[in-house]
Amino acid sequence: MTGFDLLIRGGLLVDGTGRPGRPADVGVAAGRLTVLAPGEAPRTGGAAEVIDARGRVVSPGFVDVHTHSDGVTLLGPSGGGSGRALVRASVLQGVTTEICGNCGSGLFPALPERLPAMRAEARITFGGDVGMYADFAGFAAAHARVLRANHLASLVGHGTLRAGVLGPVDRPARPDELRAMCALLDASLSQGAAGLSTGLIYTPGSYAGTDEVVALAAVAARHGKPYVTHLRDEMSRVEEALEEAIEISRRSGAALHVSHHKTAGRYAWGRTERTLPRIAALRAEGMDITCDVYPYTAGSTALAAMLPPWANDGGLGALTARLGDPAERDRMRRAIAEGVPGWENTVGNGGWDRISVACAPRHPQAEGRTIADLAASAGADPLDVAADLLVAEAGEVTIISHSMVEEDVRRVLAAPYTMIGSDGVPKPGGRPHPRWAGTFPRVLGRYVRELGLLRLEEAVHKMTGMAAARFGLTGRGVIRDGAHADLVVFDPAAVADLATFTEPLLPPAGIDVVVAGGQVVVRDGEETGARPGSVLAL
Ligand SMILES: [Zn+2]
C-alpha cells in the first residue's frame, strides 16, 4: 500500500454512479485511482501528498457536457485582461472535462478552400484569432500546443460543417455537397470527435431541412455516437421542434441528446409539463434520449440571432449591408412583430425589455442594460438601437435573454435523464452569463442543499457518471479502481455559486480540491498552475 502520488483521506465518497455515499479513502498513482477502506492506507508515508477530506465529499471530476470553450485557451495571454480568469472559471467549479463543439458551432471541419473565410468569422464568434481547422485532428493538434488544466472533448458542429462545405448560404445542400459533409463528419468522428451537434435556430445550421440532418446523424450513428441538438425552437413551437429531433433520431438510428432543454418565452412557460413526459414515455419504450440543463432562468446568445434568418443569409458582410438599409430594417421589424414560419422569434416571444447587452467591446456603457432601456434613453426604436449596435460592433454583440421561469428549470433539473451543462460562452470582455463560473456549485448549493430538489448522489451522478456514459468518456465519471484520476473534493455545507450577472466570473465557494489527470490543479479553491489536461479522442 505504498507509492501513491496522492492520498485523499477521510472523505465521504460519492462515486458518480448515484449510489449512496460511503466513507472511503482514494489513492492516486500514475493517473489512476484506487479505492481504499477508511484507514486501510498507512496514516503517513506511502503517499507523496495527503489531502485531509474530513467533512468533505470526494466525487469524480465534473463533466460539463455543454460548453462553447472551443477557442478560449487558444486565445493565449493576448485574450484580454479577463483571459486567464475566463479559462480558470471552469476548473475552479470542479469541471475536469469540458465538451465543446455544441449548438452546431465549432472550429472544424471545413474544406481547405473555405478555411480562410471561416477563420475570419470564428474571430467574431470566439473573440479573437483561434484558427479554423480542417478536421478534429487539426483542432486537437492546435490545442496540444497550449497547456490546459482540465480535459476537452469536442462534438462536430453542423453549422460549421455546413459553412465549411457550402458557405453561409440559405439554400438546401446539393447531393454532392451533402456527400462532402458526410465525408468530413465521418473523418472527424473517426479521429475522436464525440458526436454531431446542431444549432437549428442559428444560421447557417437553420438553413438545413430535416433530411439533411438525418443523413448526417446516420454517420454519427455508424460510429455509435450521439446526435446532440439545440432544437429548432425552444419557445412557442418547442414541442414541434422536439418531434423533429425525435424523427431525426429514429430515422438515423443515432441516440438523441437535447441540449439545454428549456421552454422559453411567455407562450411556452410551463410546457416542460408536456415535453418531459414525452421524453420519459419514449425512454420507457426503449429509445435512447437524454438532455442537459443549466440552472438559470436566463439564456445567452448573439444579438444577431434575434433577427430573422434571412437577415444573416450570406454571412456577416451581408448582414451589415442589410442593417444599413432602412427598408431592410423595416422588414426585420415586421418579421419580429408578425413572426416568420419556422423561425424561433425570441423578441416576439418576450420583448426587447428581456434582452440585455452582455458584451459589446466598443460600447461598455451599454453592457448590463436592456435594449428597451437603451432605446427609451435614446428616444429611438429598439430594433434601430439593436441594428446600430450590431453595425458599430461589426456583428460582435452578446446578449442575455431573461426568457424562462423557475418551475420549468426545476422540472428539467429533476428529470432522471438530465445531466448538467453550463452552456458557458467564455469570450473575452463584457459581462458574460455567470453560468460559465457558477453552474455546478449552483446545482449543489441551491438545488441540492437549499431546495432539496435533488439528492446529493443524484446531482453528482448527473455531473459525472451519467455524462461520461452518454459521451463515451471511458474510464471517467465514476470513482473505482483503475479509473482515470479526475476528482473533486468539495464541502457540501458550503458549496455555492458566487458568480452573478454583475460579477460573472467570481469563483465559487466550497470547491476545495480538483484533480485532473492525476495532478492537483486546484487546491484551497485556487489554481496550482499544473496543466495536465489534454484533448480527449473518443
Ligand atoms: Zn445552444
Higher pLDDT, 27 or 395: 27
Q: Is 424 helix (H, G, I), strand (E, B) or coil?
A: strand
Q: CA-CA distance, 352 to 503, in Å (whole number)?
A: 23
Residue 243, H or E segment: helix 238-252
Does the pLDDT value for residue 45 go beyond 90?
no
Q: How confident is the model at residue 81 (pLDDT cuts 50, 70, 90)?
A: very low
Look up the CATH number of domain 62-300+403-477: 3.20.20.140
Domains of the chain, by residue range, sit at 62-300+403-477, 303-401
Residue at grid coordinates 430538489 = 453
SS3 of 261-328: the string is: CCCCCCCCCCCHHHHHHHHHHHHHCCCCEEEEECCCCEEEEEHHHHCCHHHHCCCHHHHHHHHCCHHH
**What do you get for the CA distance between the two ends of the chain, in Å?**
32
Half-sphere exposure of residue 237: CA atoms within 13 angstroms, side-chain side = 18
**pLDDT, tens digit (0-9, with 9 covering 90-100), for 158-201:** 999 999 999 999 999 999 999 999 999 999 999 999 999 999 99
pLDDT of residue 83: 63
Written as one letter, the residue type at 476 is R
Question: Which of 75-79, 86-90, 399-403, 406-410 comes out lowest in average pLDDT?
Answer: 75-79
Cite the beta strand spans of 414-528 per DSSP E.
418-420, 487-490, 511-516, 519-523, 526-527
Does the pLDDT value for residue 79 go beyond 80?
no
Ligand 1 geometric centre to CA of 154 (Å): 14
Ligand 1 geometric centre to CA of 301 (Å): 8
**C-alpha cell recorded at residue 160:** 460549421
Q: Please count the other Cβ atoms lying within 10 Å of the Cβ belonging to residue 514.
A: 29
Where helices occur in 311-421 by DSSP H, the ranges are 316-323, 326-338, 346-350, 371-378, 382-392, 406-414
**pLDDT, tens digit (0-9, with 9 covering 90-100), for 494-512:** 999 999 998 999 999 999 9
Closest to 271 measured CA to CA, from 292, 248, 240? 240
pTM: 0.94
Q: How confident is the model at residue 78 (pLDDT cuts 50, 70, 90)?
A: low
Half-sphere exposure of residue 358: CA atoms within 13 angstroms, side-chain side = 29
Q: Is 196 helix (H, G, I), strand (E, B) or coil?
A: strand
Ligand 1 geometric centre to CA of 439 (Å): 15
Ligand 1 geometric centre to CA of 158 (Å): 12
Residue 197, H or E segment: strand 196-199
Ligand 1 geometric centre to CA of 223 (Å): 23
Ligand 1 geometric centre to CA of 39 (Å): 46
Question: Going by DSSP bridges, is the β-strand pair 151-154/47-52 parallel, antiparallel, or unpaired?
Answer: unpaired
Q: CA-CA distance, 476 to 467, in Å (whole number)?
A: 9
Ligand 1 geometric centre to CA of 199 (Å): 6
